Structure 1
């Protein structure tokens, strides 16, 4: 118990320090590939969100999902790659292959679909090679290029606002 707390504290410090060195680069790329990071402890409607993306002209093959769960049971089977706090190392890295593959993918858009700060989610979002990151306004402002002020339960509002501003920014 104490070691987990110390590990979280250590990782949080590493992530917060690395966020202070973030340099946002502007990209004029049109969005074709999308990565989504979900926190399954608060939002269960992954398929509905993906359906909204498809309705707005994104190909289903161009959408990749990574799901965070607080606790993963031994015999649990998932449709998407899943990670938890146990996959974090003491040095602020993630050693799981699915997460490494997701992070190294150069998405045109990364949707950080979580509205509570959890160190594992912040770390994976920060490590992502995505050129444009979108998330909620309640998360650290240095992490995302664009923030939407709503909560995770209102996915339709989030998607409407997202695509409204992506059109304004000539990203779609």
Structure 2
């Protein structure tokens, strides 16, 4: 079995390599929003899974990926789960649901996970989105908008503000 430390190094290198490539660019508004969050302490982040209501989009246009398996997950959540063993040693995603997520074109990608979550960072780096919004610290400079807060409520408020501003300007 490959050690977690080695896999993190490989993921870090793959993130950097991916970010050096030409960035996804599209002025087309797909109306879809992606959300990548840690499964750890899910209950404190539960509000993020309802962002689609506050933004005013259909639930079908809001795609969620949990990094890890949440201890408790509501049945009504239609979310994909990314677990470390579903990422190959070369940093390729094995799960079909995650590969499908990467095929989506999102208007916005929202990320809320710890800096230790290299697999979440890899997924965010490879995802296609016009605007990527995430919490700090953004070690790899993945995000177009980095929200500097530790509080989930403030993060959510800031994300909503940025999305509203960016929607008006496009």
TM-score category of the 2 structures, normalised to the smaller one: 0.7 to 0.9
Identify the residue that residue 142 of structure 1 maps to in structure 2.
141
Deviations 1:11-40 (A, max 9, x none): 32222233344536473x556211101111
Higher helix share: 2
Change (3 A) 1:155 1:53: farther
Runs of 4+ with >4 A deviation? 76-79
Cα distance in 2 for residues equivalent to 1:91 and 1:157: 36
Give secondary structure in 2 for the equivalent of 1:5: helix
Give secondary structure in 1 for the equivalent of 2:161: helix
Task: Indicate the larger mover: 134-143 or 12-21.
Answer: 12-21
Identify the residue that residue 157 of structure 1 maps to in structure 2.
154
Change (3 A) 1:53 1:88: same
Cα distance in 2 for residues equivalent to 1:86 and 1:77: 23
Identify the residue that residue 97 of structure 1 maps to in structure 2.
96
Asked whether 1:16 is paired with 2:13, we answer no
Higher strand share: 2
Change (3 A) 1:31 1:93: same
Change (3 A) 1:2 1:47: closer
Aligned length: 166
Identify the residue that residue 65 of structure 1 maps to in structure 2.
64
Q: Tell me how far 1:46 sits from its aligned partner.
A: 4.8
Cα distance in 1 for residues equivalent to 2:12 and 2:108: 24
The within-5 A match list for 1:1-172 is: 3-21=3-21, 23=23, 25=25, 27=27, 29-30=28-29, 32-69=31-68, 79=77, 80-140=79-139, 142-151=141-150, 154-169=151-166, 170=168
Q: Tell me how far 1:121 sits from its aligned partner.
A: 0.6
Change (3 A) 1:94 1:171: farther
Cα distance in 2 for residues equivalent to 1:31 and 1:96: 24
| RMSD (Å) for aligned C-alpha atoms | 2.9
TM-score when scaled to structure 2? 0.80
Give secondary structure in 2 for the equivalent of 1:44: helix
Gaps of 5+ in 2: none
Change (3 A) 1:159 1:58: farther
